[in-house]
Amino acid sequence: MSRENSEDSPEDLARWDREEVWHAFTQMSEYTPWIIESAQGCWLTDIHGRRYLDGVSSLWCNVHGHRHPQVDRAVREQLERVAHVTSLGMSNPTTIRLAHRLVELSPVGLQHVFFSDSGASAVEVAVKMAFQYWQQRSEPRPEKTRFIALDQAYHGDTLGSVSIGGVARFHEMFRPLLFDVLRLPAPDTYRLPPGVSADEACDYYLGQLEAMLKEHHGQVAAMVIEPLVQGAAGMIMQPRGFLRGVRELTRRYEVLLVADEVAVGMGRTGTMFACEQEDVSPDLLCVAKGITGGYLPLAATLATTEIWRAFLGRYDEYKTFFHGHTYGGNPLGAAAAIATLDVFEQEKTLEQLPIKMERLALHLRRIAELPAVGDTRQCGMIGAVELVRDKGTKEPHPWHERRGMQVCETLRGEGVWLRPLGNVLVVMPPLSISLDEIDLIGNAIHKVLL
Ligand SMILES: *Cc1c(COP(=O)(O)O)cnc(C)c1O
């Protein structure tokens, strides 16, 4: 039986959506269906024809706007050739070209690309590679099996990534299933530790890392970090120089550095990769989300030649990386990713960002003055507005008040879609957003919080 989807009434769709689709990170007993049918540029249109400005890039993913003609065309053209080729022991030209582009583009030293299909998988891959590296490199260090990560880190929802992650609310339930990690406090610049000034913060947090490395480096395989900004934690922004310091310390203490750029990569912070801003080359780099411009699920873990070499050997030495994802490196996704990179060059996306970042900053400064707002912060095209109960003491709204969510619901009535992280409103629109559209978001937030 063939069923035209246009025959399904909005009521049917809403009912099936509520009862049959199990949504991510959503309390289904309270879920109100919101169904997007199409999109263009920075705008989403729902099944009732209402339009919303996509203020969060469809969760970090969209880069050049929805339905970008060039990315659309690249996917269509790939469809005319082949939709899927496995990466287990074989290849295809589009995936190869993407790997080559990523090697050219990424921080120096990263020359080998392992494809998967989600950010969590990209991190999982990096963690397993780091572990296996120390076991089987030419001078093995089998006791290096542990990981260092930051408090409130978020690296995805598979069990390895959750072990590395530190968002108690999401992760506590699964504690018995997780491996133990050495945990450092989040290098927060808004809520500083008592007695530590903003100027001292970087040295303070690096001092803690150094103390940990001094004691444990012999057992540590790698440190995993979200460079510059801890996204899901509520856009915790690191002091300038912190990432650079982390690289220097991990190198000095012979610990690998895994940079999880799943969120901050692909131009989001103003440079293609966040690591570039502190001139850092990690040993492993994870990318996903924006890599296909928000079109298809594709992720990559980039590794140095030093790591890659540890996995080479005769077949019966079992040095192979025994890990794979069926759709890893899928050619349709790779075609979308290549087109996304092409558009970066043709539209000079990064060169256009400073003026947009400045406009966003202008709005954030105005919003920061409102009594409901404790802090606004920005890194490139990530803006955050932290709502507090008390501006002086920085006392947060209790979680159950759902302050962020309420504000976002009101904003939706204004035609602006933002998704909160607890009490933090997040602005991270497609990089292609216009100045007028930034104004629309900024003015709507100001109006709603006034
Ligand atoms: C979203 C995110 C992930 C997980 O990516 P998925 O594609 O959702 O699995 C990992 N790390 C960071 C920093 C993220 O923001």
Q: What pLDDT is recorded for position 44?
A: 98
* Single residue among 287, 312, 346 that ends a domain in this structure: 346
Q: What pLDDT is recorded for position 382?
A: 98
Q: What pLDDT is recorded for position 171?
A: 79
3-state secondary structure (DSSP) of residue 292: helix
| 341 & 368 share domain | no
Residue 374: CB within 6 Å of ligand 1? no
* Single residue among 331, 346, 361 that ends a domain in this structure: 346
Q: What pLDDT is recorded for position 1?
A: 44
The answer to whether position 3 is within a domain reads no
Residue 227: CB within 6 Å of ligand 1? no
Pairing verdict, β 51-54 and 284-287 = unpaired
Residue 297: CB within 6 Å of ligand 1? no
| Ligand 1 mean position, distance from CA 287 (Å) | 9
User: Measured from the CA of 264, which atom of ligand 1 is nearest?
Assistant: 13
CATH code for position 45: 3.90.1150.10
Residues of the chain with pLDDT under 70: 1-6
Q: What is the 8-class DSSP label of residue 51?
A: E
The answer to whether position 143 is within a domain reads yes
**C-alpha 155, offset from chain centre:** 8
CA distance 325 to 377: 37
Q: Which of 115, 152, 154, 167 to mutate to test the pocket of ligand 1 (most atoms within 8 A of CB)?
A: 154
Q: What pLDDT is recorded for position 168?
A: 83
CA distance 52 to 45: 6
Residue 156: CB within 6 Å of ligand 1? yes
Q: What pLDDT is recorded for position 169?
A: 79
Q: What pLDDT is recorded for position 314?
A: 96
Q: Whose CA is nearest to atom 11 of ligand 1?
A: 155
Q: What pLDDT is recorded for position 4?
A: 53
Question: Rounded to whole angstroms, what are the CA distances from 230 to 239, 254, 267, 278, 379?
Answer: 12, 24, 16, 16, 11
CA distance 279 to 241: 10
2-5: list long-range contacts, CB under 8 Å, 24+ apart. Answer: none
Q: What pLDDT is recorded for position 165?
A: 95
Q: Which of 115, 125, 150, 155 to mutate to test the pocket of ligand 1 (most atoms within 8 A of CB)?
A: 155
Pairing verdict, β 382-390 and 420-421 = unpaired
The CA-to-CA distance between both ends of the chain, in Å, stands at 54
Q: Which residues are paired to 420 by β-bridges?
A: 425
Residue 331: CB within 6 Å of ligand 1? no
| Ligand 1 mean position, distance from CA 407 (Å) | 24
| Ligand 1 mean position, distance from CA 286 (Å) | 9
> Comparing C-alpha atoms, which of 150, 151, 119 is closest to residue 246?
150
CA distance 33 to 35: 6
Residue 300: CB within 6 Å of ligand 1? no
Question: What DSSP assignment string belongs to 323-352?
Answer: ---TTTT-HHHHHHHHHHHHHHHHTTHHHH
| Ligand 1 mean position, distance from CA 168 (Å) | 16
* Single residue among 346, 378, 398 that ends a domain in this structure: 346
Q: Tell me the two tokens of residue 312.
A: 């080479």
Q: Tell me the two tokens of residue 155.
A: 């690296």
| 255 & 382 share domain | no
Q: What pLDDT is recorded for position 172?
A: 83
Q: Tell me the two tokens of residue 366.
A: 């105005």
| Ligand 1 mean position, distance from CA 153 (Å) | 11
Q: What pLDDT is recorded for position 40?
A: 98
CA distance 418 to 337: 25
| 40 & 187 share domain | no
| 207 & 333 share domain | yes
- Give start and end residues of each alpha helix (H) in 185-295: 201-216, 242-252
Q: In what order do the strands lie in the sheet with 256-260?
A: 110-116, 299-304, 284-287, 256-260, 220-225, 146-150, 182-184
| 164 & 271 share domain | yes
| 150 & 257 share domain | yes
> Comparing C-alpha atoms, which of 331, 339, 258, 259 is closest to residue 291?
339
CA distance 276 to 288: 17
Residue 263: CB within 6 Å of ligand 1? yes
CA distance 122 to 119: 5
User: Measured from the CA of 230, which atom of ligand 1 is nearest?
Assistant: 13
Q: Whose CA is nearest to atom 12 of ligand 1?
A: 155
| 232 & 121 share domain | yes
CA distance 250 to 280: 12
What confidence tens digit (pLDDT) does each residue in 198-223 have?
999 999 999 999 999 999 999 999 99
CA distance 335 to 315: 32
Residue 66: CB within 6 Å of ligand 1? no
| 211 & 224 share domain | yes
| 201 & 318 share domain | yes
The answer to whether position 281 is within a domain reads yes
Q: Which domain holds residue 51?
A: 34-63+350-449
| 285 & 425 share domain | no
| 141 & 285 share domain | yes
181 and 258 Cβ atoms separated by less than 8 Å? no
Provide the domain count of the chain: 2
Residue 117: CB within 6 Å of ligand 1? no
Q: What pLDDT is recorded for position 170?
A: 77
| 132 & 278 share domain | yes
Q: Which residues are paired to 378 by β-bridges?
A: 383
State the DSSP H helix or E strand holding residue 191, giving kind and residue range, or none if neither.
Answer: none
